[in-house]
Structure 1
Amino acid sequence: MALRHAVLAALVEGEASGYDLAKTFDASIANFWMATPQQLYRELAQMEADGLLAGRVVEQERRPNKRLFALTEAGWAALRAFGAERPKPGTVRDELMVKVAAMDEVGPDVVREFVEERAQWARAKLDRYERLRARLLDGRTEDDHLRHAERVGPYLALLRGISFEEENLNWCRRVLAVVDTRAAATDHP
């Protein structure tokens, strides 16, 4: 998958500025596709040059003008073509997992600190995801939203992000419990 596919999917809701897309990426898409704002802006310019997006300038008083992007027919076609391709199996590349695997050599206190940071990060993401969930539901029940909303894809992707971060928290708790148990065993032989 290329960054452009994630951008195409993010623009299904309608036109957005690069800033809006960066916020969208941070709130939801970042769970499964990371991109810096610089990468995002470069990709938007390239996608516009490739005819996948149409950009327009919106003049603003007291603020710099902003550029909004929307999918073109070619962009919609590219998104449909990407959506029809069989996805490749996902892989996890996580530096923390390597550090945990080397914990016995690195030291449990160092790993503890990193795992606690990961748990804090997961909690913060869950908080953002829950705010996004409430905004998407807009007072409706989940069942009502899933049955009657015009688009359910963003909500289903959000549910995956929520379950991913919940599992991260469960794993962090388990690692910390093991570290504590082992530390207690060595303190009191």
Structure 2
Amino acid sequence: MDNLNATAATLLGFLHGGEASGYELLGVAEDVVGAFWTVTRSQVYRELAALAERGLVVAGDAGPRSRVRYRITEPGREAFAQWITTPPGAEQIRYPLLLTIAFGGHLDRTRLLSYVDQHRTVHERRLKTYQAHLGTAGVDAHQRATLAFGIRYEEAVLAWMDDLPAILGPVDERSAEGPDSASCGRCG
């Protein structure tokens, strides 16, 4: 059996809970893994078609709003079981705000901190959402573990944001003008 990509495996994982349309799977993905794993609408439909072609899911008849419901097959369960037993790779942080902060010496400090404030709002909202989901009936131990990570992550990001003005230190003339190319040890 060919290896699954993480998005296909995610869809198979959700289909263990029962039949679902692509639209429903997208909603579940946004609710359950959306903050740490991006799944787009086009990916969902592309992967469902590929999974059906491989015999890992079966598409039902079109229902209301022409939505097709999919169910996982036994080969789909086997492929998922193979995927879930493969050790996951290391995480990679791709946080656009960090990239901007890395080059923040080229920005006015007020503007940089306004970007941080915009991101703070997102993280505060996520924290509240995770806390609310944690109290929801039907959340199993694995989902609680994932939510606990999300809560701690958001708390850590918010604490870091609180500390950021002190970490950046006082504004001096050089940082207000931006670093010159000699300040980059890897730049030539």
Which TM-score bucket, shorter chain as reference?
A: 0.7 to 0.9
Indicate how the Cα distance of structure 1 residues 52 and 20 shifts in structure 2: closer, same or farther if over 3 A, else same: same
Q: Which amino acid aligns with 2:159?
A: N
| Partners of 2:141 and 2:104 in 1: CA distance | 42
Q: How far is 1:18 from its partner? A: 1.4
Q: Which has the larger helix fraction?
A: 1
Q: Secondary structure at the match of 2:101?
A: helix
Instruction: Give the structure with higher Rg (CA).
Output: 2
Cα deviation, 1:11-45, whole Å, max 9, x if unaligned, reads 23222221222122222212221021122111111
Q: How far is 1:176 from its partner? A: 4.4
Q: How far is 1:9 from its partner? A: 2.1
Indicate how the Cα distance of structure 1 residues 152 and 107 shifts in structure 2: closer, same or farther if over 3 A, else same: same
Contact 1:51–1:75 (8 Å) recurs in 2 = yes
Q: Which amino acid aligns with 2:106?
A: E
2:149 is aligned to: 160
Indicate how the Cα distance of structure 1 residues 128 and 23 shifts in structure 2: closer, same or farther if over 3 A, else same: farther
Size of the aligned set, in residue pairs, is 169
Q: How far is 1:70 from its partner? A: 2.0
1:174 is aligned to: 163
The 5 A counterparts of 1:1-189 are: 1-57=5-61, 59-60=63-64, 64-135=65-136, 137=137, 151-176=140-165, 178=167, 182=170
Q: Which amino acid aligns with 1:24?
A: V
| Partners of 2:71 and 2:83 in 1: CA distance | 17
Indicate how the Cα distance of structure 1 residues 46 and 121 shifts in structure 2: closer, same or farther if over 3 A, else same: same
Q: Secondary structure at the match of 2:43?
A: helix
Q: How far is 1:72 from its partner? A: 1.1
1:141 is aligned to: none
Q: Secondary structure at the match of 2:59?
A: strand
Cα deviation, 1:59-96, whole Å, max 9, x if unaligned, reads 33xxx132222221111111111111122111112221
Gaps of 5+ in 1: 139-144, 146-150
| Partners of 2:20 and 2:127 in 1: CA distance | 24
